[in-house]
């Protein structure tokens, strides 16, 4: 997550959606607020709002500063491609030693479906919608962002966000895996497509993603308060 007081925005970092590159670009801007941040860069919007009252300073209270006045944005990605990208990142970067117990991508998907313990602690195994789902005072949780962008339309959507915020975003490529240069569909069998669809159904239909098509069938770029 990146919070900026000068430009009044909150960027919600969803893993494996070019979030590390986005954070690097946004953290270069003046006005970043680190007082409100969690120790993890993958805090969800609901977790942030729940924890913010304990993090605000006397200066925030004096200035009546509240995240309610800040614009929020995030990016989503085809869940089947995202799963393939996660596997290759873990295999290449080795941030978790448990990845050594995984042989193939098929084994990776199977262990995820079986709920193997170490998978449960991966931020990347949470549905993307969880990162910007808000619990209201009454009724079911809502999906609420001032701007939702697509990883598959990254350049256009980043430019749109920058225009709306009145900032410049110079996006590079951080944590890039070899998956970016390959067709993720070659990694899947029909059953594997089904498993990932079951794991991340909340990220598929609401945002127009289908197993055998990288680009979303319907584009949601822009403000949302429910799935488009």
Q: What is the mean pLDDT of residues 170-189?
A: 73
How confident is the model over 199-227, as a mean pLDDT?
Answer: 87
3-state secondary structure string, the chain?
CEEECCCCEEECCCCCCCHHHHHHHHHCCCCECCCCCCCCCCCCHHHHHHHHHHHCCHHHHHCCCCHHHCEEEEEECCHHHHHHHHHHHHHHHCCCHHHHHCCCHHHHHHHHHHCCHHHHCCHHHCCHHHHHEECCCCCCCEECEEEEEEHHHHHHHHHHHHHHHCCCCCCCCCCCCHHHHCCHHHHCCHHHHHHHHHHCHHHHHHHCCECCECCCCCCCCEEECCCC
- pLDDT tens figures, 17-48: 998 899 999 999 999 998 898 877 888 999 99
pLDDT value of residue 175: 54
pLDDT digits (tens, 9 = 90+) for 114-171: 888 888 788 888 999 999 988 755 555 678 899 999 999 999 999 999 999 999 998 8
> pLDDT tens-digit profile of 185-196?
999 999 999 999
Structural domains present in the chain = 2-224 (3.40.50)
Indicate if the pLDDT at residue 8 is higher than 90.
yes
- Give residue 180's pLDDT: 58
pLDDT digits (tens, 9 = 90+) for 87-102: 999 888 877 778 888 8
The pLDDT assigned to 13 comes to: 94
> Is the pTM value of this prediction over 0.75?
yes
């Amino acid at each position: 997550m990146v919070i900026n007081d000068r430009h009044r925005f909150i960027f919600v970092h969803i893993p494996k959606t070019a979030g590390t590159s986005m954070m690097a670009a946004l953290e270069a801007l003046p006005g970043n607020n680190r007082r409100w941040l969690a120790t993890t860069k993958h805090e969800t919007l609901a977790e942030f709002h729940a924890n913010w009252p304990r993090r605000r300073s006397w200066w925030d209270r004096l200035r009546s500063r509240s995240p309610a006045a800040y614009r929020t944005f995030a990016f989503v990605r085809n869940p089947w491609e995202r799963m393939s990208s996660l596997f290759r990142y873990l295999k290449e970067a080795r941030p978790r030693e448990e990845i050594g117990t995984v042989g193939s991508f098929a084994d990776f998907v199977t262990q995820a479906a079986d709920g193997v313990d170490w998978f449960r602690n991966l931020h990347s195994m949470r549905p993307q919608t969880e990162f910007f789902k808000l619990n209201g005072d009454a009724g079911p949780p809502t999906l609420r962002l001032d701007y939702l962008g697509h990883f598959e339309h990254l350049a256009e959507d980043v430019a749109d966000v920058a225009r709306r915020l009145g900032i410049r975003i110079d996006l590079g490529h951080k944590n890039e895996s070899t998956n970016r240069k390959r067709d993720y569909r070659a990694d899947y069998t029909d059953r594997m497509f089904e498993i990932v669809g079951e794991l991340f159904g909340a990220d598929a239909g609401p945002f127009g993603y289908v197993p055998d098509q990288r680009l979303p069938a319907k584009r949601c770029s822009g403000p949302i308060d429910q799935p488009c």
